[in-house]
């Protein structure tokens, strides 16, 4: 693969998704209705969406082990011809990171994380990013994330981040496109006005700031501080695992097609909604036609502008 439109950098691992009728408690056992394994990790999920749509996508982040999980994951990822795995490290003797995820009938999940913080991380360099248009980062790591964002800014690669909700975080000034979850913002800052918070983040990064809120309207602020909202399509929830990664992939896909911000966010919302109706972050992916149909059901409640 000689060129790559997108570099997806961050978490790469396995998800063990366990569907339960209700979460267990000290006095109540849980009774699984299914127990399955899937590709997992924010970076891997994002990369699979794009590669499945024919976008040349490079993946790296934490190392994988040469254990059963690592071998299975590399086999799954290798099924995508547009996936460039040349920088995905495999370390003998290492345990591949994974998550056990309990999913209730409303699609919500409770997550146990194994190994991600301790697993060695690959450091990016200019050679890895030389032919890249977008660098997608998750923040679930150490200073290698900030180093990667600064390197991308230095060489003119657009950075796409999620879950940067702290105004004093150093990576914010290296961010071109920021996607946050309103639920996460409210958890960290219970009394905050989410709209004012989003505008504050935009003034710091001077880029695009998007705040999702589950099935509620999405707030979008462009580089000129103009804002509008879009109502995502409603689907029957099955599993919210990886919904944010799907949204981010849909947004970048739209930009790569040359679409304006409004249409790209509509497509991102449709991608996220289609994911919520499926088990696993990137299992049983929808085709482009299905996402197109869902995108047609996204409604813009604010001004429509072109960029």
Q: Give the C-alpha separation, 60 to 44, whole Å.
A: 8
Domain containing residue 250: 9-22+34-300
> pTM for the full model?
0.95
**Is 41 inside a domain boundary?**
yes
User: Is the pLDDT reported for residue 180 higher than 50?
Assistant: yes
What is residue 12's predicted lDDT score, i.e. its pLDDT? 98
User: Is the pLDDT reported for residue 302 higher than 70?
Assistant: no
Domain count, the chain: 1
**Is 1 inside a domain boundary?**
no
**Is 305 inside a domain boundary?**
no
**Is 29 inside a domain boundary?**
no
Q: What is the pLDDT of residues 110-153, one digit of tens each?
A: 999 999 999 999 999 999 998 999 999 998 888 999 999 999 99
User: Is the pLDDT reported for residue 231 higher than 90?
Assistant: yes
**Is 124 inside a domain boundary?**
yes
**Is 203 inside a domain boundary?**
yes
What is the enclosing helix (H) or strand (E) of 227?
A: strand 227-231
Q: What is the pLDDT of residues 256-282, one digit of tens each?
A: 999 999 999 999 999 999 999 999 999
**Is 111 inside a domain boundary?**
yes
Give the ranges where the chain is alpha helix by DSSP (H). Answer: 42-52, 68-77, 126-129, 143-155, 182-188, 194-205, 243-256, 261-276, 288-295
CATH of the domain at 106: 3.40.1190.20
**Is 99 inside a domain boundary?**
yes
């Amino acid at each position: 693969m000689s060129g790559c439109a997108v570099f997806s950098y961050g978490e790469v691992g396995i998800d063990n998704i366990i569907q339960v009728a209700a979460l267990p408690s000290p006095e109540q056992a849980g009774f699984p209705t299914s127990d399955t394994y899937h590709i997992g990790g924010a970076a891997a999920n994002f990369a699979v969406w794009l590669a499945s749509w024919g976008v040349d996508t490079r993946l790296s982040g934490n190392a994988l082990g040469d254990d059963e999980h690592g071998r299975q994951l590399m086999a799954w990822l290798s099924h995508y011809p547009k996936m460039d795995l040349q920088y995905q490290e495999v370390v003998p003797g290492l345990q591949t990171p994974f998550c056990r995820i309990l999913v209730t009938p409303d699609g919500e999940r409770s997550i146990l994380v194994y190994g991600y913080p301790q697993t060695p991380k690959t450091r990016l360099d200019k050679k890895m990013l030389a032919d890249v248009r977008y660098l997608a980062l998750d923040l679930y790591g150490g200073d290698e994330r900030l180093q990667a964002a600064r390197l991308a800014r230095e060489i003119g690669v657009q950075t796409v981040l999620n879950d940067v909700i702290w105004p004093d975080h150093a990576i914010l000034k290296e961010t071109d496109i920021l996607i946050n979850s309103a639920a996460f913002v409210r958890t960290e800052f219970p009394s905050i006005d989410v709209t004012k918070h989003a505008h504050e983040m935009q003034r710091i990064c001077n880029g695009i700031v998007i705040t999702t809120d589950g099935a509620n309207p999405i707030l979008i602020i462009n580089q000129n501080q103009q804002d509008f909202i879009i109502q995502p399509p409603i689907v029957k929830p099955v599993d919210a695992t990886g919904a944010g990664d799907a949204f981010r992939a849909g947004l970048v896909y739209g930009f790569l097609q040359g679409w304006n911000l409004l249409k790209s966010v509509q497509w991102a919302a449709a991608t996220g909604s289609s994911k919520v109706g499926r088990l696993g972050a990137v299992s049983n992916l929808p085709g482009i036609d299905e996402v197109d149909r869902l995108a047609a059901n996204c409604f813009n409640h604010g001004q429509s502008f072109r960029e």
